[in-house]
Amino acid sequence: MTGQIGESKINEVRERTDIIELVSQYVTLKRSGANHTGLCPFHSEKSPSFSVHAGRQFYHCFGCGVGGDVFSFLMKIEGLAFPDAVRRLAERAGIELEERQLSPQEERRRQQRERLYRVNELAADYFHQTLMEQPVGEVGRQYLKQRGYGRKAAGEYRLGYALEEWEALGRTLQQQGANVEDARTLGLIRPREQGGGDYDLFRGRLMFPIYDLSGRVVAFGGRVLGDGKPKYINSPESPIYHKGRVLFGLYQARQAMRQSGEVILVEGYFDQLALYRAGFPQVVATCGTALTGEHARLLKRYVQRVLLLFDQDAAGRQATFKAMVALQEEGVPAQVIELPSGEDPDSFVQSQGAEAFKLRLQQARPVMDLFMEDVLAGADGGIEQKVQAAKVVIERVAGLTNSMEQDLYLKDLARRSGIDLELLKQTLAETLQQPVQQPDDYRGTPPEPFFPQPDFPGPPVAPLKPGWSRPEEMVLCLLLHNEDARQQISAAGLQDYFFTPAAFKVAELLLRETAAPETFKDLIVAKLDPDLSGLVIPLMHKDPEQFAGEVEALLRGCKASLQRELKKKQREETLNKIRQAEQAGHLGPEDLVGQFKNLK
Ligand SMILES: [Zn+2]
């Protein structure tokens, strides 16, 4: 990555890429008339509803509704950001991208990142060599063997061994010309407190390289061979590693995840290895961190449901419920796989075999079920406790997007707790109302959550920009940066998404010019007032990755925010009318007050 790609180059890459050839790398296509059809790679199906139009350089699935051009296809299927998809297709097409010149500061950062990747590569090679070839690596090989893994697994995952020495890696890196400061930044070595020099962070450990989605090593996890503590050490965060955004095994698992539409989420490296090898390749590990919202969004790019398989103890349950909340906020259904207590996926598969695990997988149950059971079990005392527990459950039930599901859980809760169903329904209704009842919600503080996904840039309390509301701005960004969203908005009609004249006008203009995005800027400058074009142009320069994701979910989120925004606006207007009426000396007309009440 060296800069920003010009829009005319993007068009050139699009035109020079044969969409049939690209899609054929992932999907078996058959010609039918002007189209090619095949089984959709984005949802599971038995008869083909995925079609590619060679002439229009466009794909569409009648089953799940996805569609777009070569870039959106590659982004979706490989989980890439827009610029990376462009770069990859440019390389294929033999087009050289002259990218925008970076500022000196950006250029320094880019160079640093490149150096950091290289140092991690050197370290991964060194650890791997030690494990596979060196006599001193025997202890690592023995350990792996004892856990049931041979050279094949070690090779596939590029596992390594860090010697039980203080300066082995540091010395090697220096011999290979790596910069000491870079190795420190990555946390591979640390300065000694006394006497100068550095010492290795990973010593006497089996090493797991952690990859990003491009297959670059961004960090390491190291497991102690014996019973020493801590059992695991991970690389600290660095400019190339943010633990909240990386999952161990995702690079290897993503194709299987997409095909099956599901992912098994486990805690440890060996859990991931064990299931992958046992024939369940759709598995990733959190590596000792709680599942974050970013993790949830990342998973959502590939799967429709997540199967949680954490340790079968109290800590594992807490981790499970945390993950449930993170996933629920992203609208991803989650289920729990249960194992006999004391077993982990690794031990279970080794002792019981893959078939037994498959059965457990089929028996997975909704995480909400387990949550309810767990909360109610902790409240077997008096009525007070039970009511309190029911409230805790209802708070989570309120987070479900499907009202039928909510209803079923309430019935279940009534049955299990003995509390009257009507009462539970009422509590749920109150819980759902809560954000709207916040006293200052019509005074400029947007109700939470403003955008379910993706994270909308800028603080939630920022004043609205002149011209349009923030949800409308989000939809404008989708029009500019997300081809699928563009098509859906175009099909649904603008009136569903815009209510201020300025936003409507801009959106209309953007939709008319589907063919040539490189002319957007000129067009916007030519056709819009300067203050309006001044608002649009910054939106064009936003990172497209912020607006990537499942289009249905994105648009649903936008619509919900828009509705809240519209309601807020109506309330403000009504309130203003009431105030004016008050100031004019007579109390507001009954109907105005009534209207205001209705708007609540
Ligand atoms: Zn589909």
466 or 338, higher pLDDT = 338
Q: Are residues 395 and 345 in the same domain?
A: no
Q: Are residues 183 and 235 in the same domain?
A: yes
- Per-residue pLDDT at 314 exceeds 80: yes
Task: Tell me the DSSP string of 286-316.
Answer: -TTSPPPHHHHHHHHTT-SEEEEE--SSHHH
Q: Are residues 356 and 478 in the same domain?
A: no
- What is the whole-number distance in angstroms between the Cα of residue 27 and the centre of ligand 1? 12
Q: What is the CATH number of the domain that holds 549?
A: 1.10.860
Give the 3-state secondary structure of 244-270: HHCCECHHHHHHHHHHHCEEEEECCHH
pLDDT 10s digits, 547-558: 777 777 778 878
In a domain, 456, yes or no: no
pLDDT 10s digits, 85-114: 998 999 888 888 776 677 888 889 889 999
In a domain, 447, yes or no: no
Q: Are residues 341 and 391 in the same domain?
A: no
Domain boundary among the residues 299, 334, 363 is at 363
In a domain, 566, yes or no: yes
Q: Are residues 377 and 414 in the same domain?
A: yes
- What is the whole-number distance in angstroms between the Cα of residue 76 and the centre of ligand 1? 12
- What is the whole-number distance in angstroms between the Cα of residue 214 and the centre of ligand 1? 25
Q: Are residues 426 and 505 in the same domain?
A: no
Region at 230 (left for phi over 0; alpha for psi -120 to 50; beta for the rest):
beta
In a domain, 100, yes or no: no
Amino acid letter, residue 80: L
Q: How many structural domains compose the chain?
A: 5
- What is the whole-number distance in angstroms between the Cα of residue 333 and the centre of ligand 1? 19
* Closest of 292, 275, 294, 295 to residue 283, by C-alpha: 275
pLDDT 10s digits, 153-201: 999 999 999 999 999 999 999 999 999 999 999 999 999 988 889 999 9
219 or 82, higher pLDDT = 219
Q: Are residues 301 and 327 in the same domain?
A: yes
In a domain, 465, yes or no: no
- Per-residue pLDDT at 533 exceeds 80: no
- Are residues 273 and 280 in contact, defined by beta-carbon separation less than 8 angstroms? no
575 or 495, higher pLDDT = 495
pLDDT confidence of residue 581: 62
- Let me know the angle formed at the C-alpha of 230 by 229 and 235, rounded to the nearest 5 degrees: 150
Q: Are residues 131 and 216 in the same domain?
A: yes
Question: Which position has the token pair 């950006």?
Answer: 106
**H/E run at residue 485:** helix 483-492
- Give 355's Cβ-side CA count (13 Å radius): 0
Q: Please, which pLDDT band fits residue 465 given cuts at 50, 70 and 90?
A: very low
Mean pLDDT for the stretch of residues 542-568: 77
- What is the whole-number distance in angstroms between the Cα of residue 302 and the centre of ligand 1? 12
Q: How many CB atoms lie within 10 A of CB 161?
A: 29
Q: What is the CATH number of the domain that holds 53?
A: 3.90.580.10
In a domain, 589, yes or no: no
- What is the whole-number distance in angstroms between the Cα of residue 39 and the centre of ligand 1? 8
- What is the whole-number distance in angstroms between the Cα of residue 21 and the centre of ligand 1? 19
- What is the whole-number distance in angstroms between the Cα of residue 303 and the centre of ligand 1? 12
Domain of 140, in residue numbers: 106-241
Q: What is the CATH number of the domain that holds 171?
A: 3.90.980.10
- Are residues 311 and 318 in contact, defined by beta-carbon separation less than 8 angstroms? no
pLDDT confidence of residue 89: 92
Structural tokens at position 501: 């004249």
Highest mean pLDDT among 124-133, 306-315, 366-375: 124-133
- What is the whole-number distance in angstroms between the Cα of residue 67 and the centre of ligand 1? 9
In a domain, 273, yes or no: yes
- Are residues 276 and 269 in contact, defined by beta-carbon separation less than 8 angstroms? no
Per-chain mean pLDDT for the chain: 82
- What is the whole-number distance in angstroms between the Cα of residue 111 and the centre of ligand 1? 40
Structural tokens at position 563: 């509705």
pLDDT 10s digits, 255-289: 788 778 899 999 999 999 999 999 999 999 998 78
- What is the whole-number distance in angstroms between the Cα of residue 357 and the centre of ligand 1? 29
Domain boundary among the residues 185, 212, 241 is at 241
pLDDT confidence of residue 443: 29
Quote the strand ranges of 280-432, DSSP E: 283-285, 305-309, 334-336, 365-366
